[in-house]
């Protein structure tokens, strides 16, 4: 550019390009900022809130239903424990009457002076069969039948708690007491009464009294005390569980109601946002998918035009272009604001990356009719996003070398002329 007129034309083109670029760049920054603040972030917030709110509400409702079911099971277990206590109180008298009937039949069979316990009689089994056995064997059978009936009553107490799929912490102690003490304790009664029969065949006479099984033998008395403590402890744990579950059910119901209120507010906000964005030519979800490509295209346009300006600036080496065409974006490498200019230039690239993160992070944007991910669509959009972001990063790197580094430039005729500026 030895001819001054050529130089003037280049300088004029550079100045025009600077002014056009700054106007375009400013419009891009303002547009991206407004779209991020007024469209992208509100849509992302409403969509991000909807999923967790629905999940939290479903969890609160599930906890409420589970707690109510557990409270109902505790009520049934308490009712079963009441039936067990009544059966336990009635069992000694029933065994006394049954054994008395067997002894009477044994006396009739043994005759005067005979041992009624060794006499053979015919009895009917629970299965409806008639068998012959001694009175002593029949007494043992009666003991087994009474213990079996009590065991079924104890199982009836525990069964509602076992039926729960998940054991709440409030009833774990009650289940432990029932499994470890109540059921095994009832089964132990069989051995205790058989030992009482072996030690004193007339033990059954003492059963028709206020102490029940405890009067049969010292071992039976110890068993009776242990069983009473077990029943009292289980009843206490059930009462505590009932109160705890009722409080948790109320808390879950309150939490569910608060979440429903927040969900209604979110629906209202989403409807208001949809009305506010009615000017968009497509649905907000479509814009969320397309916006990363729009932002990426604008970022690349900014970078390409800025690189063109840097090439023009290199061609004008030796001319005081900063005095002829001052710029708040492109300045000399030693200018103190060059890093700030690089930050501004990188903003469209950052906006593109953020938009890509928002779009890919929302799985519902790329869902098929079944609600699952539409893999071909995800792959297509992901490839387009990746190409834009990688290209923009590469162009940003090349632009950064020209903005903050000392570009090599090339020696021009203008720089070689004596007296050239």
User: What DSSP assignment string belongs to 164-211?
Assistant: -SS--GGGHHHHHHIIIIIHHHHHHHHHHHHHHHHH-GGGGGGGSSTT
pLDDT at 421: 35
Lowest mean pLDDT among 101-105, 193-197, 228-232, 338-342: 338-342
Same domain, 176 and 298: no
Q: Where is mean pLDDT largest: 55-59, 110-114, 222-226? A: 222-226
Rounded CA-CA distance 384/296 in Å is: 10
Question: Quick check: 259 and 195 in contact, CB under 8 A?
Answer: no
Q: Of 268, 294, 311, which residue sits at a domain end?
A: 268
246-250, 286-290, 292-296: which has the minimum mean pLDDT?
A: 286-290
> Which among 203, 238, 268 is the end of a domain?
268
Does the pLDDT at position 348 exceed 80? yes
Decide if pLDDT at 395 tops 70.
yes
In this structure, what token pair is assigned to residue 134? 């001694």
Average pLDDT on 378-394 reads 92
Distance CA 217, CA 223 (A): 10
pLDDT exceeds cutoff 80 at 49: no
Please say whether the dihedral angle defined by the alpha carbons of residues 364, 365, 371 and 377, taken in this order, is positive or negative.
Answer: negative
- 207 and 86, same domain (yes or no): yes
Mean pLDDT for 360-369 is: 76
Is the pLDDT at 409 greater than 70, yes or no? no
Tell me, yes or no, whether 18 lies in a domain: no
Same domain (yes/no): 261, 337? no
Per-residue confidence (pLDDT) for residue 416, from 0 to 100: 39
**pLDDT, position 335:** 64
Establish if 309 belongs to a structural domain: yes
pLDDT of 414 > 60? The answer is no
Q: Quick one: pLDDT at residue 411? A: 40
366 in any annotated domain: yes
Flag whether 357 is in a domain.
Answer: yes
Q: What angle do helix axes 183-199 and 135-162 make, rounded to 10 degrees?
A: 170
In a domain, 224, yes or no: yes
Count of domains forming the chain: 2
Boundary-marking domain end, from 214, 235, 268: 268
Phi, psi of 370, deg, nearest 5: -85, -5
Reported as a single tens digit per residue, the pLDDT across 148-206 is 999 999 998 888 888 887 778 888 888 888 888 998 999 999 999 999 999 999 999 99
Same structural domain, 338 and 400: yes
The CB-based long-range contact list for 332-339 (8 Å cut-off, 24+ gap) reads 333/404, 333/405, 333/406, 333/407, 338/403, 338/404, 339/404
Query: Domain check: are 115 and 150 in the same one?
Result: yes
Q: How far apart are the first and last CA of the chain?
A: 13
Domain-located, residue 276? no
- Rounded to whole angstroms, the Cα distance separating 105 from 122 reads 9
Give which of 116, 143, 121, 145 is closest to 133, Cα–Cα. Answer: 121
What is the reported pLDDT for 353? 93
In this structure, are 260 and 295 located in the same domain?
no
Asked if residue 70 and residue 161 are part of one domain, the reply reads yes
d(CA 61, CA 65): 6
Average pLDDT over every residue of 379-406: 87
Pick from 398, 402, 401, 403: nearest CA to 329: 403
Q: pLDDT at position 297, please? A: 94
CA 368 from chain centre, in angstroms, equals 24
d(CA 148, CA 259): 50
Q: DSSP letters of 277-339? A: TTTSSS-HHHHHHHHHHHHHHHHHHHHHHHHHHHHHHHHTTTS-HHHHS--SSS--TT-TTHH
Give the per-residue pLDDT at 219.
93
pLDDT at 267: 83
**Is the pLDDT confidence value at 298 over 80?**
yes
Are both 239 and 331 inside the same structural domain? no
pLDDT > 70 fraction of the chain, expressed in percent and rounded: 89
Same domain, yes or no, for 383 and 333? yes
286: left (phi over 0), alpha (psi -120 to 50) or beta: alpha
Taking a C-beta distance cutoff of 8 angstroms, is the pair 285, 365 a contact?
A: yes
Q: Is 33 helix (H, G, I), strand (E, B) or coil?
A: helix
Domain range for 260: 60-268
pLDDT at 48 > cutoff 60: yes
Going by C-alpha positions, the residue among 136, 130, 154 that lies closest to residue 193 is 136
- How far is Cα 23 from Cα 13, in angstroms, rounded to an integer? 15
pLDDT at 318: 59
Return the higher-pLDDT residue of 310 and 189.
189
Confidence (pLDDT) at 84: 93
Average pLDDT over residues 308-317: 78
Per-residue pLDDT band for 407 (boundaries 50, 70, 90) equals: very low
CB 319 within 8 A of CB 414: yes
pLDDT in tens, 4-32: 666 677 777 778 888 888 899 999 999 99
């Amino acid at each position: 550019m030895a001819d001054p007129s050529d130089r003037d034309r280049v300088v004029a083109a550079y100045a025009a390009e600077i002014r056009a670029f700054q106007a375009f760049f400013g419009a891009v920054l303002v547009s991206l900022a407004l779209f991020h603040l007024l469209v992208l972030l509100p849509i992302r917030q409403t969509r991000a809130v909807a999923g967790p709110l629905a999940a939290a509400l479903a969890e609160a409702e599930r906890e409420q239903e589970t707690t109510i079911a557990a409270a109902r099971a505790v009520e049934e277990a308490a009712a079963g424990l009441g039936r067990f206590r009544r059966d336990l109180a009635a069992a000694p008298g029933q065994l006394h009457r049954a054994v008395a009937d067997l002894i009477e039949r044994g006396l009739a069979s043994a005759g005067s002076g005979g041992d009624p316990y060794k006499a053979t009689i015919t009895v009917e089994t629970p299965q409806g069969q008639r068998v012959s056995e001694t009175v002593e064997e029949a007494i043992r059978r009666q003991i087994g039948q009474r213990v079996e009936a009590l065991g079924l009553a104890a199982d009836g107490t525990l069964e509602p708690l076992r039926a729960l799929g998940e054991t709440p912490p409030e009833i774990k102690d009650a289940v432990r007491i029932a499994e470890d003490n109540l059921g095994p304790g009832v089964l132990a009664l069989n051995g205790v009464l058989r030992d009482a029969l072996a030690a004193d065949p007339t033990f059954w006479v003492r059963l028709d009294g206020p102490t029940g099984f405890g009067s049969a033998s010292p071992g039976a008395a110890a068993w009776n005390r242990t069983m009473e403590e077990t029943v009292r402890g289980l009843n206490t744990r059930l009462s505590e569980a009932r109160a705890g579950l009722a409080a948790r059910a109320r808390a879950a119901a309150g939490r569910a109601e608060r979440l429903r209120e927040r969900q209604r507010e979110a629906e209202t906000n989403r409807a208001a946002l949809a009305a506010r964005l009615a000017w968009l030519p497509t649905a907000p979800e479509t814009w969320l998918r397309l916006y990363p490509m729009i932002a990426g295209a604008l970022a690349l346009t900014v970078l390409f035009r800025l690189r063109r300006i840097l090439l023009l600036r290199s061609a004008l080496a030796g001319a005081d272009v900063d005095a002829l065409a001052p710029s708040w974006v492109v300045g000399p490498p030693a200018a103190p604001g060059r890093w700030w200019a690089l930050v501004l230039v990188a903003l469209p690239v950052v906006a593109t990356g953020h938009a890509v993160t928002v779009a890919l992070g929302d799985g519902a944007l790329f869902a098929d009719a079944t609600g699952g991910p539409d893999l071909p669509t995800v792959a297509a959009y992901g490839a387009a996003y990746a190409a834009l972001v990688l290209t923009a990063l590469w162009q940003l790197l090349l632009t950064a070398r020209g903005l903050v580094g000392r570009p090599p430039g090339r020696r021009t005729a203008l720089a070689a002329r004596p007296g050239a500026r």
